[in-house]
Amino acid sequence: MGWEPEQVPNQAYPNVARNASTFVGVRASVESSTVNQAGTAMQPVAGSRGHPSILDRIVESKRAEVQRLESRTDVLAAAARDAMPPRDFEAALRRRGQVALIAEIKRRSPGAGEICGLLDPAAQAASYEAGGAAAVSVLTDATYFSGSLEDLAAVRRSTALPVLRKDFVIDGVQLLEARAAGADAVLLIVRILDDPTLARLHALATDLGMAVLVEAHDGEEVDRALEAGARILGVNNRDLTTFQTRLDVTLSLVDRVPADVVLVSESGVRGAADVGRLGAAGVDAVLVGEWLVRQDDPEAAARSLSVQPRSSVRGR
């Protein structure tokens, strides 16, 4: 049986209640960011020789998900209103003198294939917390990553850490779904959103009480993320069209990110030395999934990453 919003504990969070109590207001926000034939919200991402990229196919699957969710907008809005209060994801990443670890729950990916099909999300998250992680990221896409909102809910129950819903968000109804399931933060990917939609989704997520990790891959996308109001900016070292990964992507963009914005390096970290290298450049946090999931002792692995020093010098 799939996750249902009725399973969410009934504890109202005032900011969410103000925004979800008037259904018309929430629906207006949702409809303004819907991907449809009248006005697409995604940026086209060309695959090789004109064929759709993996990212194109993922986003197309999200269009279908959004269509299925639209009839449940009022139920999700009510569940978002009654969800447990959000934990402070941004504050968790602001660790003085140390690189914060966002440890990820990840069963598979299009690039790596199966990583750990029998992963127990709750037990894994508990190990991450014991190892000093600052937050947990949960892949909730089912088709390409074998994730689910059940995984997110299980992690939220098993740990006191803030939990990030990592998915391909193209519509406001997905944000309601995330908050209803207990997400404390959500991912917005610049590459798949136009500027007005990115700004609207960022504002709606903030109104729902969630932090927003805005993901970029190059200088132009970093500038667009900052223009949209990003306070937490992730640089994905993996090119989502080719799935090639280079830590130098983050290192080349460090100086474009203001010092008061939390800078997160995502993907490609394969041990403490990589975290140390990023910390020396002034990176505030790292998001690590595949390497951690493959370790026999995830608690010890998380501890090795979460004690790395960070330089205080960065940004313009």
User: What positions carry a catalytic annotation?
Assistant: 104, 106, 166, 215, 236, 266-267
E strands of 62-184, at which residues? 100-105, 108-109, 113-114, 135-139, 163-166
Report the distance separating Cα 313 and Cα 315, nearest Å. 7
- Hunting for tokens 């979800």 — which residue is that? 20
CB burial class (10 A; 0-12, 13-18, 19+) of residue 118?
A: exposed
Q: Are the CB atoms for 184 and 205 separated by under 8 Å?
A: no
Q: Residues for the chain: how many in total?
A: 316
DSSP 159-191: -SS-EEEES---SHHHHHHHHHHT-SEEEEEGG
8-state DSSP, 284: -
- Hunting for tokens 């004690």 — which residue is that? 307
Q: Which token pair is 157?
A: 């129950």
DSSP 214-278: EEESSHHHHHHHHHTT-SEEEEESB-TTT--B-THHHHHHGGGS-TTSEEEEES---SHHHHHHH
The secondary structure element, H or E, covering residue 286 is: strand 285-288
